[in-house]
A and B are shown apart, each in its own frame.
Chain A
Amino acid sequence: MSRAPRWLLSRWVVVPGTLLLLVLGWNIHVAANATGVVRGRVVDSAGQPVAGATVLLFERSFVVNTEKQRTTSDPRGRFRFEGNASHAVQLQAEAPDGARSDRVTLRLLFRAQDADLPSPLVVEP
Chain B
Amino acid sequence: MMRRRIPWVRHAVLLVVSAIMLLPFYWVLKTAITNENIYTYPPRLLPLDPHPYNFVDVWYLIPFPRYLLNSIIVSVLAVVGNVVLNAMAAYALTQNFRAKKLVVLLLLSCMLIPFQATIIPAYLITARIGLLNSYLGLALPLLSTIICIFIYKSAFEAVPRSLVEAARMDGLSEWRIIAHVLLPLSRPAIATNVILAFIWSWNSFMWPLIVTRDADMQTLPLGLARFLSYMEDTTGALYAFVCLVLAPGILVFLMAQSAFIRGLTQGATKG
Contact = CB atoms under 8 A, between A and B. Distances in A.
B39 interface: no
Contacts of A12: 255
Contacts of B57: 87-88
Interface of B: 51-53, 56-57, 59-61, 230, 251, 255
Interface of A: 11-12, 15, 61-63, 87-88, 107-111
A62 B56 contact: no
A107 B56 contact: yes
A109 B52 contact: yes
Contacts of A111: 60
Contacts of B60: 87, 111
B251 A15 contact: yes
Contacts, number: 24
B264 to A, nearest CB: 19
Contacts of A110: 56
11 contacts: A11-B255, A15-B255, A61-B61, A87-B59, A87-B60, A88-B53, A107-B51, A108-B56, A109-B52, A109-B53, A110-B56
Contacts of A61: 61
Nearest to B60: A87
A107 B56 CA distance: 9
A27 B158 CA distance: 47
Q: Which of B51, B59, B60, B230 has the most CB of A within 10 A?
A: B60
A11 B56 CA distance: 28
A61 B231 CA distance: 12
A87 B255 CA distance: 33
A11 B256 CA distance: 9
B255 A109 contact: no
Nearest to A12: B255
A108 B56 CA distance: 8
Report the 4 A-B pairs with minimum CB-CB distance, sorted nearest first: A107-B53, A87-B60, A11-B255, A87-B56
Contacts of B53: 88, 107, 109
